[in-house]
Amino acid sequence: MSGLINGLISDLSSMHPPDELMVGTFLPSVRLLVAKELRKQGSSQGRIATALGVTQASVSLYLASATDRAYSSLKSLHVTREEADRYVTLLAEDAARNPSYAVETLGRIWTGLIGRGLACDAHRQEHPSLADCDYCIRAFGPQGDKGREAIAEVSQAVKAIESSAAFVAAMPEVSVNLACVSGDSNLAENVVAVPGRIVKVRNSAKAMRQPEFGASGHMARMLLLVRTRRKSCRAVVNLRYDARMAMVLKKLGLRILEIGDYSETEGGDPTIDALRTKLRETTGGFDAIVDRGGRGIEPNVYLLGEGAVEVAQLAIRASELYSAA
């Protein structure tokens, strides 16, 4: 019996899931960088500890540590400094709003990394017996043909936006993102968006990176919430909103669902909260969501459609009318 038990223990000791890398390498590095980012934004050590789900003593240690080791650890997972900073920005934003959002975003980032095979080298270096393992790519990679189609669809839409001379005029200060769900999914991890958003570069719009799954928690939450009412809606893009854009929307004949007049909060995403409430109170159809914003929140309009290219073309048309108004 003892021989059997020893054999089982030996077999179990050879099981090394990627979670080991998450807990031992990825998570400590990300926590350190997010702690420093939140501190830079003015958060106290107590608030940072709450946001990260760690002790205040741990936060103190993070803040006293140099960032070079964290970036170096992430580099071993093929995460560049630029990509790490992007993840940190997303996580700090979500952690400040609601820790549960940060957990969701962290999970999407990690599964995205291992799904693309970026952690495989580090994993195999620690455990050479896994030289032929491709489990993460099969289990967490883009969802087969549908996933590749969604990424290609968003890429095509982004190229159209980047080619538009008028689009930059209608971009809000918070920049633009375009999100599209893969197939008919209702899961946030199956929503493709642009990491780092689409930003103004001189007189044109430029995507910071290629589209990927899990790149925008906010847009994913909005899209999936809209789909509870409009199942055919698969894509959303945001533009600035002001009196001139209101005239453009009217000219386009779009049905509007309006939210706004709220303040930015620490405990959630006020736009999503307001939209959820509005959907409970109304029953009519809509083609766009006007968010009038509030204290600390810039007004935006979210254009909806059945595909990424469709909403991109609608946004470009709106931008052209906006420029001409």
Average pLDDT over all residues of the chain: 87
pLDDT-derived band of residue 94, with 50, 70 and 90 as boundaries? confident
Q: Which domains does the chain have, with CATH numbers?
A: 2-140 (no CATH), 144-324 (3.40.225.10)
What share of the chain in percent tops pLDDT 90? 56
Contact 51, 102 (CB under 8 A): yes
Which of 61-70, 91-100, 288-297 is predicted most confidently? 61-70
- Residues 197-235 pLDDT 10s: 999 998 899 998 888 887 888 999 999 999 999 999 999
DSSP helix/strand/coil, 233: coil
Please state the φ and ψ torsions of residue 266, each to the nearest 5 degrees: -90, -20
115 phi and psi angles, rounded to 5 deg: -65, -30
**Is residue 291 within a helix (H) or strand (E), and if so which, with residue range?**
strand 288-291
Instruction: Look at residue 243 and tell me whether its pLDDT is greater than 90.
Output: yes
pLDDT score, position 3 = 46
Measure the CA dihedral 270/223/91/142, to 10°. Answer: 170
304 forms beta bridges with 236
**3-class secondary-structure state, position 305:** strand
The pLDDT of residue 7 is 41
Res 43: pLDDT = 92
Average pLDDT of 162-175? 95
Q: How many CB atoms lie within 10 A of CB 221?
A: 20
Which pairs from 76-79 meet CB under 8 Å and 24+ separation? Answer: 76/25, 76/121, 76/122, 77/21, 77/25, 77/26, 77/113, 77/118, 77/119, 77/122, 78/113, 78/118, 78/119, 78/121, 79/113, 79/118
Mean pLDDT of 182-192: 85
Residues 19-35 pLDDT 10s: 899 999 999 999 999 99
Please check whether residue 232 is in contact with residue 262, taking contact to mean a CB–CB distance below 8 angstroms.
no
